[in-house]
Chain A
Amino acid sequence: MTAVAAREAAVEVVDLEATSLRELNQRLHDLAGSRGPAAWRVLNPNGAHAVACGIDAEVDVEVDGHVGYYCAGMNKRATVRIHGNAGPGVAENMMSGLVLVHGNASQSAGATGRGGLLVVRGDASSRCGISMKGIDIVVGGSVGHMSAFMAQTGRLVVCGDAGDALGDSIYEARLYVRGSVAGLGADCVEKELREEHRVELGELLLRAGIEASPKEFRRYGSARQLYNFKVDNAGAY
């Protein structure tokens, strides 16, 4: 076995019942710019906050169990898979890489994310993709109210239903929903699903490992009536 192959085969196991969260995250942060284990497994997270957040390295992290707030927040380059449910703000402000939640995600999943892909196999709660700035989010189930609120760029794909006020005050993010939409937020409208959209949707679903036909989705986006100042509205200020 070569040194590289050995490094790839070894899985670094960290049990949070025996190791402090701070130590785990420090070891993951230390991977930035230096060599270390390429595969990690985190046991017994039991709802802890900020598990595997702030990584800047091409590593794989498997988390066995449910996590609390901000898991994989600010992620850069790493792949973090959560074998359980995630609390509020999973992958918030992610820069790049992949975060995969096998269960459900609580509110504000992928909030302010700037890049990378967040996949939630189950449902995501309210405010999914709030203020997203380039992240792609694919949700296998449904999302709650106020999802993609003030979304700037990036794509949000919802294979189930969307709650009330989808895309309120949206800028240039693209939203795809397969099921029903309880209501559209201010300045969010349905738009034509053209071939270029079916292609990008197909690619996102493929990368997310979710089987669904792009043809079944509807596209939503900004009517662009809200975010440009209009002189006609000057009297309202």
Chain B
Amino acid sequence: MCGIVGLFAKSTEVEERLGAHLASMLAQMSDRGPDSAGVAVYRDPVTTGSSKLTLHSADPHERWDELGAVLADEFGGSPEPHTRSSHAVVVVDAEAADVEEWVRVNRPDLRIMSAGSVIEIYKETGSPREFVRRFALDGLQGTHALGHTRMATESRVTTEGSHPFSTGLDLCLVHNGSLSNHNRLRENLRREGIEFQTENDTEVAAGYLSWRLREGAELEEALEGCLRDLDGFYTFAVGTADGFAVLRDPIACKPAVLAETDEWVAMGSEWRALAVLPGAADAEKWEPQPGVVYVWEKARV
């Protein structure tokens, strides 16, 4: 069992309170996933030519200001890391791929949580309620966000085993369920050049999406490929720069509820995660059909 939530703002009022709404939704899903929690928040787009990375350090005394100075020397500009608990967001005047490569070579101890122009990913082990407080989610603004509370079944309880998983620039995946063909699929994807850090099943689904998107598939196409290539139980929520998508496996054992008002679109594992949103009582609500891809994007709303 895990809990997943997603919120897509259709008004500036909801954008301004995005983090507070997300925190309330996540807290409702605490008992579905008490061992870890994580969020992907889409906010503060960087200017063209810059990129944004979320980095994680296991060292509680990490000198993020020093990292900022080194990055300034390397790439120019004045990247000042914005810290949030064990994570920091840096905006660098360079291509994301170049900065990622630099981090891997020069600071292999740091973990790259996300890269792109709008995405920020924060995730940690521990109770979701504690996570919400530690990462001060309440104060975050943004256009849309995904969240996850984890009850681990397939692999260890670690920060890197927590969700969301980054699947490429500005892309991420959260998952409720378990996959049964992840070992074979991981080997196949490794041969395609996709890298994996854990033995986690969801990371394989994320890697699968990264691979399909790299090969030129549209997001909907890549998700439809999951129906054919992934064996197991899943409700997925995928975050993109412009919105989010939802997919349930054809058996659809794992729950999901969607709701929409003039102000927002939201998904959750259960209704109680959505009931905390303003105007929820009058929202249009439904269960996503098994095996059907649902997508919300700024351009389409």
Contacts and interface: CB of A to CB of B under 8 A. Distances in A.
B285 interface: yes
A47 B271 contact: yes
Interface in B253-291: 253, 255, 257, 270-276, 281, 285-287, 290
A47 to B, nearest CB: 3
A126 B275 CA distance: 23
Nearest to B28: A47
B226 interface: no
Contacts of A107: 252-253, 255
A87 interface: yes
A21 to B, nearest CB: 11
What is the interface of chain A mostly: helix, strand, loop, or mixed?
Answer: loop
A131 interface: no
Contacts of A47: 28, 270-275
Nearest to A48: B272
A196 B252 CA distance: 36
B290 A145 contact: yes
B71 to A, nearest CB: 45
Interface in A84-107: 85, 87-88, 104, 106-107
Interface string A53-77: 0000000000001111100000000
A235 B252 CA distance: 34
- Most chain B beta-carbon neighbours within 10 Å: one of A47, A85, A104, A144: A47
Contacts of A46: 271-272, 275-276
B195 to A, nearest CB: 37
B287 A125 contact: yes
Interface size class of chain A, counting residues whose CB lies under 8 Å from the partner chain: 10 to 19
A125 B253 CA distance: 11
B290 A68 contact: no
Nearest to B285: A85
Given A68-B270, A87-B270, A126 B252 contact: yes
B290 A87 contact: no
B255 A88 contact: yes
Interface string B142-159: 000000000000000000
A183 to B, nearest CB: 13
Contacts of A88: 255
A61 B213 CA distance: 52
Contacts of B274: 47
Interface in A10-24: none
A67 B287 CA distance: 14
Contacts of B257: 106
Nearest to B287: A125
A87 B255 contact: yes
Nearest to A145: B290
A173 B275 CA distance: 37
Contacts of A144: 252, 290
Given A87-B255, A88-B255, A126-B252, A106 B272 contact: no
A7 to B, nearest CB: 32
Interface string B193-210: 000000000000000000
B290 A126 contact: yes
- Most chain A beta-carbon neighbours within 10 Å: one of B28, B257, B272, B273: B272
A48 B286 CA distance: 17
A125 B274 CA distance: 19
Contacts of A68: 270-272
A85 B252 contact: no
Contacts of B271: 46-47, 66-68, 85, 87
B275 A66 contact: yes
B4 to A, nearest CB: 15
Contacts of A66: 271, 275
Nearest to B271: A47
Interface string B51-64: 00000000000000
Nearest to A125: B287
Interface string A109-138: 000000000000000011000000000000
What are the nearest 9 A-B pairs in CB distance? A47-B272, A47-B271, A46-B275, A66-B271, A47-B275, A68-B270, A125-B287, A47-B270, A46-B272
Interface of B: 28, 252-253, 255, 257, 270-276, 281, 285-287, 290
26 contacts: A46-B271, A46-B272, A46-B276, A47-B28, A47-B270, A47-B271, A47-B272, A47-B273, A47-B274, A48-B272, A65-B281, A66-B271, A85-B285, A87-B255, A87-B270, A88-B255, A104-B287, A106-B255, A106-B257, A106-B287, A107-B252, A107-B253, A107-B255, A125-B287, A144-B290, A145-B252
